[in-house]
Amino acid sequence: MRLWKLSYTSIAVAAHDAALRQAHEICARSGDRNARIDVSSVLTVHRGRFAQVLEGPEEAVRSVLRRIMGDPRHHSLTVLADGPLLARRYGNWAMAYRDPKAFITDQLDDILQQTADVVRAMKATWH
Ligand SMILES: Cc1cc2nc3c(=O)[nH]c(=O)nc-3n(C[C@H](O)[C@H](O)[C@H](O)COP(=O)(O)O)c2cc1C
């Protein structure tokens, strides 16, 4: 089955400290469920928003997203990335909290890597 990456951001209903507590609770409770369906994930909270990356078989990732979308602890979920993945970044984490700075650094690394891959592939077609 295809390996997939999906990331999103959403607006937390609770104020920052409570949302941070919720994120830690969610990480503690969801790890086993994610692991059972081979999904790895990180979650962060920043300025009243959740952001999460889900990796795993496409169908499994979509089924987790469907459940998350119905969760009353957040709203206005916006998908940021939704596409195939060559290798997992968070293979060791079924569900972990990640500091926002580390989270965004990881995502920037991925974007720069993808851009470099596309440029390399384009150059290869020029010869
Ligand atoms: C921001 C956010 C991220 C979540 N991430 C996950 C997740 O990765 N895996 C998961 O099983 N549940 C996650 N949940 C919790 C689910 O929405 C849901 O509460 C939980 O899976 C229990 O579902 P159930 O009540 O239908 O059993 C998340 C919830 C929120 C608000």
Nearest to 36 by CA among 74, 70, 63: 63
Which ligand 1 atom is nearest residue 67's CA? 17
Question: Digits of tens for pLDDT over the chain (127 positions)?
Answer: 899 999 999 999 999 999 999 999 999 999 999 999 999 999 999 999 999 999 999 999 999 999 999 999 999 999 999 999 989 999 999 999 999 999 999 999 999 998 998 899 999 998 6
Q: Give the right CATH number for 3-98 from 3.30.70.100, 3.30.70.20, 1.20.1090.10, 3.40.50.720.
A: 3.30.70.100
Mutate to test the pocket of ligand 1, among 4, 54, 71 (most ligand atoms within 8 A of CB): 71
Domain ranges (residues) in the chain: 3-98
Q: Is the CB of 67 under 6 A from ligand 1?
A: yes
Say what the pLDDT of residue 126 is. 85
Please list the helix, strand and coil fractions of the chain in percent, rounded to the nearest 5, in that order.
Answer: 45, 30, 20
64 Cβ closer than 6 Å to some ligand 1 atom:
yes
Cα separation, 12 vs 23, in Å, equals 10
Predicted local confidence at residue 1, as pLDDT: 80
Backbone angles phi, psi at 42, to 5 degrees: -130, 150
Q: What spacing in Å lies between the alpha carbon of 27 and ligand 1's midpoint?
A: 9
Atom of ligand 1 nearest to the CA of 41: 8
pLDDT of residue 48: 96
Ligand 1 atom 27: the closest Cα is on which residue? 67
